[in-house]
Structure 1
Amino acid sequence: MATMTDYVGTLFDNTDSNPSKITLAFTMAGVALKKEHSATVILMADAVHLALPNALDNVDIGAPFEPAGKLLEAFIEKGGHVLVCGACMQHNGVKEADIDKRFAVISGDDVVELLMSAQGGLQLN
Protein backbone atom coordinates (compact mmCIF):
# COMPACT_ATOMS: atom_id res chain seq x y z
CA MET A 1 0.00 0.00 0.00
CA ALA A 2 1.12 3.53 -0.74
CA THR A 3 1.90 5.18 2.59
CA MET A 4 2.39 8.61 1.09
CA THR A 5 0.98 10.19 -2.01
CA ASP A 6 0.90 13.71 -3.41
CA TYR A 7 -2.76 13.63 -4.44
CA VAL A 8 -5.70 11.82 -2.84
CA GLY A 9 -9.13 11.57 -4.40
CA THR A 10 -11.86 10.17 -2.18
CA LEU A 11 -14.94 8.71 -3.79
CA PHE A 12 -18.14 7.80 -1.95
CA ASP A 13 -20.73 7.02 -4.67
CA ASN A 14 -21.55 3.88 -6.61
CA THR A 15 -22.53 3.77 -10.29
CA ASP A 16 -26.24 4.08 -9.57
CA SER A 17 -26.01 7.33 -7.59
CA ASN A 18 -23.74 9.69 -9.55
CA PRO A 19 -21.53 8.49 -12.40
CA SER A 20 -20.23 12.03 -12.93
CA LYS A 21 -18.41 11.91 -9.59
CA ILE A 22 -16.77 8.62 -10.54
CA THR A 23 -15.60 10.04 -13.85
CA LEU A 24 -14.30 13.22 -12.23
CA ALA A 25 -12.44 11.28 -9.54
CA PHE A 26 -10.44 9.28 -12.08
CA THR A 27 -10.06 12.23 -14.48
CA MET A 28 -8.52 14.47 -11.81
CA ALA A 29 -6.33 11.68 -10.43
CA GLY A 30 -5.08 11.09 -13.97
CA VAL A 31 -4.30 14.80 -14.32
CA ALA A 32 -2.21 14.61 -11.13
CA LEU A 33 -0.19 11.77 -12.65
CA LYS A 34 0.31 13.73 -15.90
CA LYS A 35 1.72 16.58 -13.80
CA GLU A 36 4.21 14.08 -12.32
CA HIS A 37 2.57 13.78 -8.91
CA SER A 38 1.83 10.47 -7.25
CA ALA A 39 -1.91 9.85 -7.04
CA THR A 40 -4.30 7.65 -5.11
CA VAL A 41 -8.07 7.18 -5.29
CA ILE A 42 -9.75 5.87 -2.13
CA LEU A 43 -13.09 4.08 -2.46
CA MET A 44 -15.26 4.62 0.63
CA ALA A 45 -18.90 4.13 1.66
CA ASP A 46 -20.98 2.96 -1.35
CA ALA A 47 -18.01 3.40 -3.70
CA VAL A 48 -16.51 0.12 -2.45
CA HIS A 49 -18.76 -1.60 -5.00
CA LEU A 50 -16.55 0.02 -7.66
CA ALA A 51 -13.73 -2.25 -6.47
CA LEU A 52 -15.42 -5.25 -8.07
CA PRO A 53 -13.87 -6.27 -11.41
CA ASN A 54 -15.43 -4.51 -14.43
CA ALA A 55 -17.62 -2.28 -12.22
CA LEU A 56 -16.74 0.78 -14.30
CA ASP A 57 -17.30 -0.79 -17.71
CA ASN A 58 -20.66 0.93 -18.29
CA VAL A 59 -19.85 4.30 -16.72
CA ASP A 60 -19.68 6.85 -19.54
CA ILE A 61 -21.04 10.36 -19.01
CA GLY A 62 -20.03 11.47 -22.50
CA ALA A 63 -17.77 14.08 -24.05
CA PRO A 64 -15.47 15.62 -23.24
CA PHE A 65 -14.83 12.90 -20.65
CA GLU A 66 -13.45 9.42 -21.33
CA PRO A 67 -15.40 6.38 -20.12
CA ALA A 68 -14.58 5.61 -16.47
CA GLY A 69 -13.26 2.11 -17.24
CA LYS A 70 -10.74 3.57 -19.68
CA LEU A 71 -9.76 6.25 -17.15
CA LEU A 72 -9.19 3.58 -14.49
CA GLU A 73 -6.99 1.46 -16.75
CA ALA A 74 -4.88 4.47 -17.77
CA PHE A 75 -4.61 5.58 -14.14
CA ILE A 76 -3.31 2.21 -12.99
CA GLU A 77 -1.02 1.82 -16.01
CA LYS A 78 0.61 5.17 -15.21
CA GLY A 79 1.26 4.21 -11.57
CA GLY A 80 -1.89 5.35 -9.79
CA HIS A 81 -3.17 3.45 -6.76
CA VAL A 82 -6.75 2.51 -5.90
CA LEU A 83 -7.38 1.76 -2.23
CA VAL A 84 -10.57 0.44 -0.65
CA CYS A 85 -11.85 1.08 2.87
CA GLY A 86 -12.03 -2.28 4.64
CA ALA A 87 -14.69 -1.23 7.15
CA CYS A 88 -16.81 0.16 4.32
CA MET A 89 -16.42 -3.13 2.47
CA GLN A 90 -17.59 -5.07 5.51
CA HIS A 91 -20.54 -2.70 6.01
CA ASN A 92 -21.57 -3.10 2.34
CA GLY A 93 -21.05 -6.87 2.14
CA VAL A 94 -18.12 -6.68 -0.28
CA LYS A 95 -15.54 -9.41 0.29
CA GLU A 96 -11.83 -8.78 -0.20
CA ALA A 97 -11.53 -11.95 -2.28
CA ASP A 98 -14.01 -10.49 -4.79
CA ILE A 99 -12.36 -7.13 -5.50
CA ASP A 100 -9.97 -6.25 -8.32
CA LYS A 101 -6.59 -7.75 -7.39
CA ARG A 102 -4.84 -4.49 -8.32
CA PHE A 103 -6.58 -2.67 -5.45
CA ALA A 104 -5.50 -2.73 -1.80
CA VAL A 105 -7.72 -2.76 1.28
CA ILE A 106 -6.91 -0.16 3.92
CA SER A 107 -8.14 0.88 7.37
CA GLY A 108 -9.54 4.15 8.61
CA ASP A 109 -6.14 4.91 10.16
CA ASP A 110 -4.58 4.52 6.70
CA VAL A 111 -7.15 6.90 5.19
CA VAL A 112 -6.36 9.59 7.73
CA GLU A 113 -2.61 9.13 7.28
CA LEU A 114 -2.86 9.44 3.49
CA LEU A 115 -5.09 12.51 3.67
CA MET A 116 -2.91 14.26 6.23
CA SER A 117 0.31 13.67 4.30
CA ALA A 118 -1.03 14.50 0.82
CA GLN A 119 -0.23 17.81 -0.82
CA GLY A 120 -3.76 18.08 -2.15
CA GLY A 121 -6.88 16.21 -3.00
CA LEU A 122 -10.48 16.14 -4.09
CA GLN A 123 -13.34 14.77 -2.04
CA LEU A 124 -16.31 13.61 -4.11
CA ASN A 125 -19.23 12.87 -1.83
Structure 2
Amino acid sequence: MTDLLITLTQKEDNANNVTVAFTMGKMALSKGHSVSLILLSNAVHLAERGYGNKIDIGEPFQPVGELIFEFIAQGGEIKVCSACMKHNGVSEDNLMEDVEIITAEDVISIIMDSKKSLQLN
Protein backbone atom coordinates (compact mmCIF):
# COMPACT_ATOMS: atom_id res chain seq x y z
CA MET A 1 0.00 0.00 0.00
CA THR A 2 1.32 3.40 -0.95
CA ASP A 3 0.71 6.60 1.00
CA LEU A 4 0.32 8.75 -2.12
CA LEU A 5 -0.63 7.57 -5.58
CA ILE A 6 -0.12 10.00 -8.46
CA THR A 7 -1.63 9.20 -11.84
CA LEU A 8 -0.41 11.01 -14.93
CA THR A 9 -1.67 10.78 -18.51
CA GLN A 10 0.37 13.45 -20.33
CA LYS A 11 3.85 14.05 -21.63
CA GLU A 12 5.30 17.29 -23.05
CA ASP A 13 1.88 18.29 -24.41
CA ASN A 14 1.12 19.31 -20.82
CA ALA A 15 4.56 19.98 -19.39
CA ASN A 16 3.05 21.78 -16.39
CA ASN A 17 1.17 18.69 -15.17
CA VAL A 18 4.19 16.46 -15.76
CA THR A 19 6.37 18.81 -13.75
CA VAL A 20 3.81 19.14 -10.94
CA ALA A 21 3.39 15.34 -10.72
CA PHE A 22 7.08 14.69 -10.11
CA THR A 23 7.53 17.81 -7.96
CA MET A 24 4.68 16.81 -5.61
CA GLY A 25 5.88 13.22 -5.57
CA LYS A 26 9.35 14.30 -4.60
CA MET A 27 7.95 16.59 -1.89
CA ALA A 28 5.86 13.77 -0.41
CA LEU A 29 8.93 11.50 -0.35
CA SER A 30 10.93 14.20 1.46
CA LYS A 31 8.20 14.26 4.14
CA GLY A 32 8.58 10.49 4.68
CA HIS A 33 5.59 9.27 2.67
CA SER A 34 5.72 6.40 0.20
CA VAL A 35 4.81 7.46 -3.36
CA SER A 36 3.84 5.54 -6.48
CA LEU A 37 3.45 7.36 -9.79
CA ILE A 38 1.48 5.54 -12.48
CA LEU A 39 2.06 6.54 -16.09
CA LEU A 40 -1.01 5.98 -18.25
CA SER A 41 -2.00 6.91 -21.81
CA ASN A 42 0.56 9.27 -23.43
CA ALA A 43 2.55 9.59 -20.18
CA VAL A 44 4.10 6.14 -20.74
CA HIS A 45 6.75 7.87 -22.86
CA LEU A 46 8.14 9.41 -19.65
CA ALA A 47 9.31 5.93 -18.62
CA GLU A 48 11.69 5.86 -21.60
CA ARG A 49 15.36 6.55 -20.89
CA GLY A 50 16.11 10.26 -21.33
CA TYR A 51 12.60 11.25 -22.43
CA GLY A 52 12.03 13.55 -19.44
CA ASN A 53 15.11 15.60 -20.38
CA LYS A 54 13.13 17.46 -23.03
CA ILE A 55 10.66 18.93 -20.50
CA ASP A 56 11.64 22.04 -18.56
CA ILE A 57 9.02 24.70 -17.73
CA GLY A 58 11.56 26.91 -15.97
CA GLU A 59 11.93 28.46 -12.55
CA PRO A 60 11.00 27.84 -9.86
CA PHE A 61 10.65 24.23 -11.08
CA GLN A 62 13.42 21.74 -11.85
CA PRO A 63 13.68 20.12 -15.28
CA VAL A 64 11.68 16.89 -15.44
CA GLY A 65 14.77 14.77 -16.19
CA GLU A 66 16.24 15.85 -12.85
CA LEU A 67 12.93 15.38 -11.05
CA ILE A 68 12.55 11.81 -12.32
CA PHE A 69 16.10 10.91 -11.29
CA GLU A 70 15.66 12.39 -7.80
CA PHE A 71 12.17 10.87 -7.42
CA ILE A 72 13.55 7.37 -8.04
CA ALA A 73 16.68 8.01 -5.94
CA GLN A 74 14.49 9.03 -2.98
CA GLY A 75 12.49 5.79 -3.20
CA GLY A 76 9.60 6.81 -5.43
CA GLU A 77 8.09 4.08 -7.58
CA ILE A 78 7.25 4.59 -11.24
CA LYS A 79 4.75 2.15 -12.69
CA VAL A 80 3.77 2.07 -16.35
CA CYS A 81 0.68 0.56 -17.96
CA SER A 82 1.56 -2.31 -20.31
CA ALA A 83 -1.45 -1.80 -22.61
CA CYS A 84 -0.70 1.93 -22.86
CA MET A 85 2.92 1.09 -23.72
CA LYS A 86 1.81 -1.18 -26.53
CA HIS A 87 -0.71 1.36 -27.84
CA ASN A 88 1.89 4.16 -27.82
CA GLY A 89 4.74 2.11 -29.30
CA VAL A 90 6.90 2.17 -26.17
CA SER A 91 9.28 -0.77 -26.01
CA GLU A 92 10.26 -2.47 -22.76
CA ASP A 93 13.86 -2.34 -24.04
CA ASN A 94 13.72 1.48 -23.92
CA LEU A 95 12.52 1.82 -20.31
CA MET A 96 14.55 3.32 -17.49
CA GLU A 97 15.82 1.03 -14.78
CA ASP A 98 13.55 0.65 -11.75
CA VAL A 99 10.33 1.15 -13.74
CA GLU A 100 7.65 -1.47 -13.12
CA ILE A 101 5.33 -2.57 -15.92
CA ILE A 102 1.79 -3.17 -14.66
CA THR A 103 -1.57 -4.25 -16.07
CA ALA A 104 -4.95 -2.50 -15.99
CA GLU A 105 -5.95 -4.85 -13.18
CA ASP A 106 -2.88 -3.72 -11.23
CA VAL A 107 -3.80 -0.07 -11.80
CA ILE A 108 -7.23 -0.59 -10.23
CA SER A 109 -5.79 -2.50 -7.27
CA ILE A 110 -3.17 0.18 -6.61
CA ILE A 111 -5.76 2.96 -6.82
CA MET A 112 -8.12 1.17 -4.44
CA ASP A 113 -5.35 0.35 -1.95
CA SER A 114 -3.64 3.77 -1.83
CA LYS A 115 -4.19 6.08 1.13
CA LYS A 116 -4.40 9.29 -0.91
CA SER A 117 -4.26 10.14 -4.61
CA LEU A 118 -3.41 13.01 -6.90
CA GLN A 119 -4.63 12.82 -10.48
CA LEU A 120 -3.00 14.94 -13.15
CA ASN A 121 -4.88 14.18 -16.32
Q: Is TM more than 0.5 here? A: yes
- Whether 1:8 aligns to 2:5 is yes
**Which secondary structure does the structure 2 equivalent of 1:69 belong to?**
helix
Matched letter for residue 3 of structure 2: D
The alpha carbon displacement at 1:74 in A equals: 0.9
Deviation at 1:44, TM superposition (A): 0.4
Q: Is 1:27 aligned to residue 17 of structure 2?
A: no
Q: How many residues align?
A: 121
Q: Runs ≥4 in structure 1, deviation > 6 angstroms?
A: none
The residue matched to 1:104 in structure 2 has which SS? strand
Q: Which runs of 5+ in 1 are unaligned?
A: none
Query: Which residue of 1 is the match for residue 65 of structure 2?
Result: 69
Question: Cα distance, 1:100 vs. partner?
Answer: 1.2
SS of 2:79 mapped into structure 1: strand
**How far 1:58 sits from its partner (Å)?**
2.0
Question: Does 2:79 align with 1:83?
Answer: yes
Give RMSD over aligned pairs: 0.9
Shift of 1:109: 1.0
Letter in 1 for 2:62: E
Gaps of 5+ in 2: none
Once the two structures are superposed, residues 35-85 of structure 1 have per-residue CA deviations (whole angstroms, 9 ceiling, x without a partner) of 111001111000111111000112111111111111111111110010100
The percent identity for this pair of structures is 44
1:9-39 deviations in Å (ceiling 9; x for gaps):
1110121x11111100000111111111100
- 3-state SS of 1:116 partner: helix
Give 1:44-59 correspondences, 5 Å limit.
Answer: 44-59=40-55
TM-score, with structure 2 as normaliser: 0.95
